[in-house]
Amino acid sequence: MSDPIADLVIRIKNAQTSNKEQIIVPYSKFKEAILKVMKNDGFIADYKKKKDTEQERNNLIINFSDKRITHFKRLSKPGQRLYIKGNNIPRPLRGFGLVIISTPFGVLSGVEARKKKVGGELICEVW
């Protein structure tokens, strides 16, 4: 798999369109950080890390909230990275959407990054 973050985005989109209540995705620290930001803004209800004893690897179990995700797009791709300064962070849907940024302070939402006045790589946008 060349882009595990794009895989996470597609799995969440497909689960939302088929009205699933939870999905299981392969674990990574970066995916966990993205899910933490989404949980803080209410786009997912909860997530937890679980060890799969048969395959000897970790998985993330994502539980969805009642809030529907209508748009979930990967912005920065492996072939074309998008970086943004702290004063130019976009506000999707005039502040009702969420932009996720990888900064030197960790993975943050656009609002948190704007408060800390720090830029970084644009990961994805959600609304």
* Residue 25 clears pLDDT 90, i.e. is over it: yes
Mean pLDDT value across residues 105-125: 97
* Residue 54 clears pLDDT 90, i.e. is over it: no
User: What is the structure's pLDDT at 1?
Assistant: 75
Q: Which of 88, 15, 89 is nearest to 45 (CA)?
A: 15
Pair 86, 113: CB distance under 8 Å? yes
The proportion of the chain whose per-residue pLDDT surpasses 70, expressed as a percent, equals: 100
User: What is the structure's pLDDT at 41?
Assistant: 94
User: What is the structure's pLDDT at 106?
Assistant: 98
**Confidence category of residue 89, pLDDT binned at 50, 70, 90:** very high
Residue type, 125: E
Torsional sign, CA 94, 41, 115, 107: negative
Least confident of 7-11, 24-28, 42-46, 65-69: 65-69
User: Cα–Cα distance between 77 and 95 in angstroms, integer?
Assistant: 23
Torsional sign, CA 37, 41, 14, 22: positive
First to last CA, the chain: 26
Structural domains in the chain, sorted by start: 4-126 (3.30.1490.10)
